[in-house]
């Protein structure tokens, strides 16, 4: 079993739709949860960062963490064609400081149709 599981998609939605992206994980030590967006042939860029459980909102994006279920989600409201990209979840435990490794999901390819 992989430490982090993510539905690879592809996911195709019409413009304006609400998008839900999800990851599950198995390591209960994970405390830091991130969502990255990666456009084709570019490096990932950080979208959202959450510590422990709870919700975090930033504009059209909402990240949720449910540690009891080992489940994290990213919601995109009013999706735009410019949101078309691969979305990667990533997580880490709190040990090791700056040398901590990120564990990535496989990424979900999202296409928002105009």
Q: Point out which residues bind another protein (CB under 8 A).
A: 8, 32, 34, 36, 41-46, 49, 51, 88, 90, 92, 97-102, 104-107, 109
Distance CA 4, CA 52 (A): 16
| Smaller CB separation from another protein, 14 or 40 | 40
> For residues 31 and 80, what is the distance between their CA atoms, to the nearest angstrom?
30
> Around Cβ 23, how many Cβ atoms within 10 Å?
26
Instruction: Please identify, using beta-carbon distances, which residue of 79 and 86 lies nearer to another protein.
Output: 86
Q: In the bound complex, what is the minimum distance in angstroms from residue 72's beta carbon to another protein?
A: 14
Q: In this complex, which beta carbon is closest to another protein, that of residue 49 or of residue 75?
A: 49
Q: Is the Cβ–Cβ distance between 111 and 99 less than 8 Å?
A: no
């Amino acid at each position: 079993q992989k430490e982090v599981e993510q539905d690879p998609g592809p996911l195709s939605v019409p413009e304006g739709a609400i998008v839900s992206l999800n990851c599950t994980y198995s390591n209960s030590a994970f405390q830091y949860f991130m969502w990255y967006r990666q456009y084709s042939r570019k490096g990932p860029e950080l979208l959202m960062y959450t510590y422990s459980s709870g919700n975090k909102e930033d504009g059209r994006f909402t990240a949720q963490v449910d540690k009891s279920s080992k489940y994290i989600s990213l919601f995109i409201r009013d999706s735009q064609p410019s949101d078309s990209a691969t979305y990667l979840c990533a997580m880490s435990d709190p040990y090791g400081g700056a040398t901590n490794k990120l564990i990535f999901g496989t990424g979900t390819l999202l296409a928002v149709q105009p």
